[in-house]
């Protein structure tokens, strides 16, 4: 491990590279990263990076986003098979079809989607910005995809008519392993703990939460809510970062089995290899990238 870390640090200097890691990454990857954050923070960070190379320690759509925002930089994903089952729920063909079916309703896409589907979006949001952005739209009917749970959370908080596209898109980790059953079990095990949930969790689970937000908003909620014990309802990787930020507090995952295998496909070994070989590079066709860049920049501008 020490030898790998030394190699990565040396290669980073040689390549003028920086490592961006998502909050779900394994501890040693979080520790070697230059910056760790939620999807919105990683995308914003990617907009003002001074480096030649970005290593995206996360899943493929995150690397696509970094690449779209940095057409002149080389973006590497250490394992090209780090996908996202939620993003795969929406094909570009369906995105176009949903828009054609309801021309008056804007299509708001979660950043957890692929660039060729994002091409058809009117706005792009993350779990941190979805409520704020949709709340600002003039239209009452809004198409939202691909996560039906985030869609219902946005509907509950904004009071708008949110149409989930497709009707059943979800993150399997949140849908099956951070649902009401697992949340109730965790609350029984830790009756004094406050529950903080990600909005990708199903509505019945969300109703039991003391706070709801993106992964970084969940981390901030630990400090804001006060108290000594917390249950985090999302992928278990967030618990490592939370314990590091709040060493005095007791922090538990809702479910030890809530592990996203795609996020865990990034390792120190493949980061080192990727920096050595400068592969795999993530590059989005400029015809798609140019349009998606405009939507991302406008959507980020709207939420500040």
Query: CA–CA distance from 247 to each of 46, 117, 220, 225 (Å)?
Result: 29, 41, 14, 16
In the complex with ligand 13P, the residue whose CB is nearer, 25 or 74, is: 25
In the complex with ligand 13P, the residue whose CB is nearer, 4 or 26, is: 26
Q: Site for ligand 13P (CB under 6 A): how many residues?
A: 13
Region of 48-56, 120-128, 175-183, 222-230 interacting with ligand 13P (CB under 6 A) = 120-128
Q: Which residue carries 């909005």 as its tokens?
A: 199
DSSP letter string over 260-272?
Answer: -TTGGG--HHHHH
Token pair recorded at residue 161:
């008519």
For ligand 13P, the binding residue among 30, 74, 79, 112 (CB under 6 A) is: 112
Tell me if 30 contacts ligand 13P by CB under 6 A. no
Tell me if 23 contacts ligand 13P by CB under 6 A. yes
Region of 64-72, 89-97, 126-134, 149-157 interacting with ligand 13P (CB under 6 A) = 126-134
Token pair recorded at residue 219:
């981390």
In the complex with ligand 13P, the residue whose CB is nearer, 74 or 164, is: 164
In the complex with ligand 13P, the residue whose CB is nearer, 126 or 270, is: 126
The rounded distance, in Å, linking the Cα atoms of 175 and 172 is 5
Token pair recorded at residue 175:
């849908």
Q: Which residues contact 169 (CB under 8 A, 6 or more apart)?
A: 86, 89, 90, 145, 146, 147, 148
Region of 33-41, 90-98, 248-256, 279-287 interacting with ligand 13P (CB under 6 A) = 33-41
Hey, which residues between 209 and 238 contact ligand 13P (CB under 6 A)?
A: 214-215
Exposure b/e, 72-84, CB count within 10 A at least 16 = b? ebbbbbbbbebbb
Hey, which residues between 159 and 178 contact ligand 13P (CB under 6 A)?
A: 171
Tell me if 79 contacts ligand 13P by CB under 6 A. no
The rounded distance, in Å, linking the Cα atoms of 10 and 222 is 36
DSSP letter string over 120-140?
Answer: T-SEEE-TTTHHHHHHH-S-S
Shortest distance (Å) from residue 172 CB to ligand 13P: 10
Hey, which residues between 184 and 203 contact ligand 13P (CB under 6 A)?
A: 198, 200
Bridging pattern class, strands 161-164 and 123-125: unpaired
In the complex with ligand 13P, the residue whose CB is nearer, 7 or 220, is: 220
The rounded distance, in Å, linking the Cα atoms of 229 and 114 is 37
Shortest distance (Å) from residue 303 CB to ligand 13P: 13
Region of 9-17, 92-100, 125-133, 295-303 interacting with ligand 13P (CB under 6 A) = 125-133
Chain contacts with ligand 13P (rule: CB under 6 A): 23, 38-40, 112, 126-128, 171, 198, 200, 214-215
């Amino acid at each position: 491990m020490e030898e790998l870390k030394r190699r990565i640090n040396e290669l980073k200097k040689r390549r003028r590279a920086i490592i961006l890691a998502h909050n779900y990454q394994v501890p040693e990857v979080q520790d070697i990263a230059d910056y760790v954050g939620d999807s919105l923070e990683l995308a914003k960070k990617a907009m003002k990076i001074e480096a030649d190379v970005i290593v995206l320690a996360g899943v493929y759509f995150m690397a696509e986003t970094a690449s779209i925002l940095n057409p002149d930089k080389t973006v590497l994903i250490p394992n090209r098979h780090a996908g996202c089952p939620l993003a795969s729920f929406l094909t570009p063909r369906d995105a176009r079809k949903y828009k054609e079916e309801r021309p008056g309703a804007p299509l708001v896409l979660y950043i957890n989607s692929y660039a060729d589907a994002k091409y058809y979006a009117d706005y792009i949001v993350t779990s941190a910005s979805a409520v704020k952005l949709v709340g600002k739209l003039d239209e009452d009917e809004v198409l939202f995809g691909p996560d039906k749970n985030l869609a219902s959370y946005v509907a509950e908080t904004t009071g708008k008519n949110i149409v989930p596209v497709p009707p059943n898109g979800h993150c399997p980790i949140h849908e099956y392993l951070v649902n009401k059953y697992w949340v109730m079990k965790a609350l029984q095990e830790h009756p004094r703990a406050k529950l903080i949930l990600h909005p990708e969790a199903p509505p019945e689970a969300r109703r039991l939460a003391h706070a709801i937000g993106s992964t970084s908003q969940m981390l901030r909620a630990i400090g804001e809510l006060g108290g000594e014990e917390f249950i985090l309802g999302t992928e278990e990787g967030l618990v490592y970062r939370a314990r590091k930020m709040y060493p005095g507090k007791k922090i538990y995952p809702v479910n030890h089995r809530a592990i996203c295998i795609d996020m865990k496909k990034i390792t120190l070994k493949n980061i080192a290899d990727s920096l050595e070989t400068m592969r795999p590079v993530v590059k989005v066709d400029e015809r798609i990238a140019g349009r998606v860049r405009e939507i991302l920049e406008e959507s980020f501008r709207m939420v500040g």
